[in-house]
Each structure stands twice: as C-alpha cells, then as structure tokens.
Amino acid sequence: MKLNEKFMALTSAVMIAVSATACSSSDSGNNSSSESSQSPSQTENTFTISADSIAETLGAGWNYGNTLEANSGGHPSETVWGNPEASQEMINAVADAGFSTVRVPVSYLDYIDDNNGYKVDESWLNRVQEVVDYCYNRELNVIINVHGDGYNSINGGWLLCNGDNQDYIKEKYAALWQQIADKFATYDEHLIFESMNEEFNGDFGDPVREQYENINAYNQIFIDTVRASGENNTHRWLMFPGWNTNIDFTVGDYGFQLPTDDNNTAGENRMIVSVHCYDPWDYCGEEKKKTFLWGERGQQIVEINKANPKNLASWGDEEFLEGQMKKLKENFIDKGVHVVIGEFGCIDKTLANAGIPNQIAENRAYYDGYLAGIAATYGITPVYWDNGYNGQYGFGLFTRATAEQSQPEIIQAIVNAVKNKDPKAGLETRIKSYDDSAGRAEKLDEVHAYLGIQTEIYTFRNSYSDGAYGHDSEWFNTLIKWEDTDGDNKDDIVDTGAVFEDASIKDDGTYTVGVSGYDFSGESETLNMLFISTDFKFSNAIVIKDVVLSVDGKDIPVKNPIIAEDNSGNMYIELINKYNEAAPAIEYDMPKDSLKITFTIEGVSNILK
C-alpha cells in the first residue's frame, strides 16, 4: 500500500499537523519478549514446502504493518507511526486467531552505510531476526521484504526505478540482499524473502517500460544474490512484484518479466509473484467519498435497511474480483508459479452512517472474507494488511497494545474463507458491537457534553483533533492559540481567557454547550472544526435532534449534523469540519463574543443508572 495512504489510515481523518507539534520516536534495539533466539524449526533446517502444498501451507496471512517499515525522515523506527514494538505476544495472538503466515515489512533506509560498502547496521538486522524468530516460535510462515526503501515519497528512498544512477542502485540493492540472505541462510522454508514492495515511479498512470525494465533487473539481482549465498537459500521460496504490485500491470502487456532461477536446487519451482489488491479503491481505501457499501451484502443493506444506493460501490464487485483472480491463475498458477496477494483489506467506515453501523461493519467483514476466499479458491495466498490502527479509516484487526482481537468477525471471515475456500464465508456475519445496548456497559449518574472548536490559525480547545478530545486531556478548560510572542518565530501557547459552558446530562431534554469572552473574528475568517464531544458511548438508543448553532445571539438551525462515534467510541456531533466533505455546509459569521450549540437528547435512561 502506498506510503501516504498507509500513514493517513493510521491517523484520524480530521487530525492535522502544525509546526508546533513534534513526534517523538524511539529506536527498536532489543525486545525482551522473545521466547528464544532460535526456534526448533529454524535450527533443524529440514522443513520444506513443496510446490503442490504451498497454498495450503501458507493459508491465511496477516501483515505486521506500520512497524518495522515505519520511519521518520528516512530513519526506521518501530514506534514512530504510533504502534508499539513488535512482540511475541502479538504474534501469539495472530497464530491463535488462525493465521498461518505473517508478512513483516521492513525498511532499511539510513541503516545502510553507503560509505562502508553498504553495510547494514547490525542491531537492525538483529531486530529483524528477533521478529522473525517470534514467528518461528509459533511455527508460522514469515515473509520479510525491503519495503519503504523504494518509495519516491520519503526522505532517503533510494530503490527507485526512475532514479538517475541505476548502477549505484543495483550495486546497493545486491549488497543489501547479500547481508539479509547471509543473516538467514540457515533458516528453513518457513521463511520467505520478498524482493521489494510497491516499486514504481510514483505516477499512478501506466508503467514506463524503461523503468519497468529496472524493476525486472532488481528482481533478477534479488534471485541471483539470494541463491548464490548458499545453504537453505538455494531452495528458499522467493517472492517478487511487478509494477506497483498492480495486478493488471503484472499480468498485462506492460513489461513484467519473470526472473530466471537457474541456481534453485529444489528440483521444482520456488518463485512467487507478489501483487496487492485494494479494489475497488473508493470502497477499500478512499476516505472522502461516501462509498461504504459493497457487493451482495451492500445490496442487501440497500434493500432491507433502506440505505442510499449512492453509497454502494459502483464497480469492483464479486465478479470483478473473481476475474482478477482468474488472470493471476492463468498467467502464473497454471504455469507453476505461486501468487501471494501481499496486501488486501478495506478501511473501517463503520461511522459513515450512524443509523447502520452494524451493517457497515458486517459489509466490511464480507468484503475481506470474499477477497480471501476467492483468492484461495484459485490457489492464491491472501495476506491481510493490518496497520495497527483501530477506529475510523483504520485497517486494524487487533489492538496492538494488548494483543487482543479488535475485529473478531473479520478475522473469522478471512480465516474460514481461506480454510474452506468459501468466498461467501462472511456473508452471514452479524455484528452486535454497536447495537442498542452499547452504552449500557457502565451505568452512570450523569453524562456530559463538551464543546470542541478550532480556527484556521489553530486557536483551539485542548486538541488538534476530535479523536483526542476529552475532559482528561491537556488544556481542557482553556481556549489557547499559538503566537510568536518573543520575536524569534517560536510558537508560544497563549491563554485567550475565554470561558466554556459544558452540559451535565441527567435526563432527556435540551442542553447547551458554548464558549464566550473571545473575539474569534479578529484573526480568523472561518472555523476549521466545530463539534460536540461526550463522555458516553455511542448508541443507536440515543437520539440527538434539533441542533441549533447560535453566534452572538443569532440562531442558525443545523439540518444535518454528523452524529457518529469518535475514536474513543463515544457519541460525537460534528457541525463544521473543513477536512470532511460530508460535514454540513453552514453559513455563519465568526463570533465576536459568544458561540453556543443547543441540542435535544432522548434516550438518556439507556446509559444512566
């Protein structure tokens, strides 16, 4: 998956970065959760996977995404994109869930010393080995690759098919794979090497043939280098992509060539073509479009739940996906070359319609199960893309911090679909995590609603995003702004002196939240965001209506506020959000003294004692 989409899916859609915000990063040296430095499978060196059994052996796969390939400014760091370090506990959870294969994306970037024979930092190679061993400890198959080094979009990307100095690139690439191959030469065939990730020139148009030839050359260098390193690498399964891992650009007449594998000692094929599938993209990955229904299950939701048919994906249905799998089978499987869909999945759009969150989540499980099942039906291995982020637009199936399943229904759909070669395994999935009892887990004496606001100059209350908003967060009782008060272009936090009015809710009725005592019109012409956050769980049993915005005493009825679930699972009412095209369009003047939001709430008894 391309880097910017991976990163954006990790963060909230409404989160914005400003110059005053700094991200801390930590390098990943050793991780004490490893059970052993060498597992039985690795030290015995006898396990092999035949060409006839490769699909069954690999089974359903899972990506340990946004971890070892994460980087900041070209420096790999496991935690810099918000995930915890990889752990044995997380791998245990993946194995217990029924996955048989783990793909571990790895970036090297500035850990490669160009001035020292392209030597890779030994501590980083040791860390990669440690994570591989986590998988061996559970007898899982594991795929490692060279991931972010091939991105045009990051600082330090060097494995570029459109790069000017191809001699340098190829020399460095061979040196890198020589070191990886030597590091793992004694590991048995549980370990698969993947040459690179989404290698292309950064342009999503048709491939450039001259640059495609460079990709073919990289794959050949990869094969030749690994085979020449000896020991188990002479018969290891090796995996490689075409242009941007795109199915059509790999099977069509665009320039892809299978590398030769003359030094393979297995006596049979040991090559795997790698592709990715996020089709249809407007359903699987696009955040701005209101496409949150897909395929047969989506059509059911339109017919039974009266959802808007405009929210149904207009292309890329079951027939299309099966057609893609047929192409891969005819071009590779039938010719003795295995295929792995190294990444697939769709982002969480459960909150796109507050009236049918269960059904949207069920549709997601159906899609993921269908893709996995139809791939398995054609002898292809599917590997789900998990970026570790749970919440709106996330790909997460597990909560990384606790190593627990966050999306058990999707996991079950994928695993069962592959095991039984049943694309419809997830069609009958029913999810109750958002039903009318969702807010009743903890009964309260009262609940609260809070105003959230942000201007175009980043005057805001306690957070840049609704996802981090809450009464326990910093600056909750303060409207602040950034200002260069000392003349050296350093942003300082300034308390504007404004006063907030929040609501304590003990019964059904009409309530008001607001802010007063600050002239917003003096420095800003518009609001970036205006919303109400709460400290109670989102539930269909709660009804929010009659929302009215009052600016300096002038009332403005808000016809279609977004009522959804925030990143903490709480009720969230959005009036203005310049980053969300679905937010209502409201005409207003910037307040000179006060801004209030009045709303009526019904169903409070469902969440109170």
Distances, alpha carbon 254 to alpha carbons 213, 331, 583, in Å: 10, 14, 41
Summarize pLDDT for 511-568 with one digit per residue, the tens.
Answer: 999 999 989 888 888 988 899 988 888 776 788 999 999 999 999 999 889 888 776 6
Domain final residue, candidates 384, 419, 454: 419
Domain final residue, candidates 391, 419, 447: 419
CATH for 129? 3.20.20.80
Average pLDDT over every residue of 252-264? 98
Instruction: Check whether residue 389 and residue 475 sit in a common domain.
Output: no
In the three-class reduction of DSSP (H, G, I as helix; E, B as strand; rest coil), residue 459 is classed as coil
Summarize pLDDT for 106-135 with one digit per residue, the tens.
Answer: 999 999 999 999 999 999 999 999 999 999
Task: Indicate whether 3 belongs to any domain.
Answer: no
Res 463: pLDDT: 45
In this structure, of 100-114, 449-463, 584-598, the range with the lowest mean pLDDT score is 449-463
Average pLDDT over every residue of 195-219? 97
Instruction: Check whether residue 251 and residue 343 sit in a common domain.
Output: yes
Task: Indicate whether 247 belongs to any domain.
Answer: yes
CA end-to-end span of the chain, whole Å? 46
Band (369; pLDDT cuts 50, 70, 90): very high
Instruction: Check whether residue 93 and residue 142 sit in a common domain.
Output: yes
Instruction: Check whether residue 157 and residue 285 sit in a common domain.
Output: yes
Instruction: Check whether residue 219 and residue 351 sit in a common domain.
Output: yes
Instruction: Check whether residue 404 and residue 365 sit in a common domain.
Output: yes
Task: Indicate whether 375 belongs to any domain.
Answer: yes
Res 548: pLDDT: 96
Res 477: pLDDT: 67
Domain final residue, candidates 419, 452, 468: 419
Instruction: Check whether residue 395 and residue 496 sit in a common domain.
Output: no
Task: Specify the DSSP element, H or E, that contains 40.
Answer: helix 40-44
Name the residue range of residue 555's domain: 439-606
Higher pLDDT, 153 or 579: 153
Average pLDDT over every residue of 163-183? 98
Band (347; pLDDT cuts 50, 70, 90): very high
Res 4: pLDDT: 44
Average pLDDT over every residue of 12-25? 29
Residue 31 CA to residue 88 CA, distance in Å, equals 9
Residue 582 CA to residue 377 CA, distance in Å, equals 38
Res 472: pLDDT: 53
The closest of 206, 347, 246 to 287, measured between CA atoms, is: 347
Task: Indicate whether 12 belongs to any domain.
Answer: no
* pLDDT greater than 50 at residue 35: no
Res 291: pLDDT: 94
Summarize pLDDT for 472-503 with one digit per residue, the tens.
Answer: 555 566 777 766 555 554 456 677 888 889 89
Residue with tokens 């996802």: 467
Summarize pLDDT for 224-244 with one digit per residue, the tens.
Answer: 999 999 999 999 999 999 999
Task: Indicate whether 39 belongs to any domain.
Answer: no
Task: Indicate whether 87 belongs to any domain.
Answer: yes
Band (36; pLDDT cuts 50, 70, 90): very low
The closest of 203, 168, 190, 184 to 2, measured between CA atoms, is: 203
Residue 166 CA to residue 89 CA, distance in Å, equals 41
Average pLDDT over every residue of 288-312? 92
CATH for 470? 2.60.40
The mean predicted confidence, pLDDT, of the chain is: 87
* pLDDT greater than 50 at residue 328: yes
Average pLDDT over every residue of 179-207? 97
The closest of 444, 460, 402 to 571, measured between CA atoms, is: 444
Residue 94 CA to residue 137 CA, distance in Å, equals 12
Q: Where are the beta strands (DSSP E) in 456-567?
A: 460-461, 479-483, 492-495, 499-501, 503-505, 509-516, 527-537, 543-551, 554-557, 562-565
Instruction: Check whether residue 219 and residue 365 sit in a common domain.
Output: yes
Contacts of 513 (CB under 8 A, 6+ apart): 449, 450, 451, 500, 501, 502, 503, 532, 596, 597
Res 567: pLDDT: 66
Task: Indicate whether 194 belongs to any domain.
Answer: yes
The closest of 194, 53, 50, 205 to 132, measured between CA atoms, is: 194
Task: Specify the DSSP element, H or E, that contains 142.
Answer: strand 141-145
Band (30; pLDDT cuts 50, 70, 90): very low
The closest of 233, 145, 151, 131 to 193, measured between CA atoms, is: 145
Q: Which residues are part of the catalytic machinery?
A: 198, 343
Strand partners, 493: 482
The closest of 144, 142, 162, 140 to 153, measured between CA atoms, is: 162
Summarize pLDDT for 43-91 with one digit per residue, the tens.
Answer: 567 899 999 999 999 999 999 999 999 999 999 999 999 999 999 999 9
Task: Indicate whether 121 belongs to any domain.
Answer: yes
* pLDDT greater than 50 at residue 26: no
Instruction: Check whether residue 412 and residue 546 sit in a common domain.
Output: no
Res 456: pLDDT: 80
* pLDDT greater than 50 at residue 336: yes
Number of domains in the chain: 2
* pLDDT greater than 60 at residue 349: yes
Assigned token pair, 175: 């040196």
Instruction: Check whether residue 272 and residue 128 sit in a common domain.
Output: yes
Res 13: pLDDT: 32
Instruction: Check whether residue 335 and residue 466 sit in a common domain.
Output: no
Instruction: Check whether residue 241 and residue 349 sit in a common domain.
Output: yes
Res 605: pLDDT: 83
> What are the counts of helices (DSSP H) followed by strands (DSSP E) for the chain?
13, 27
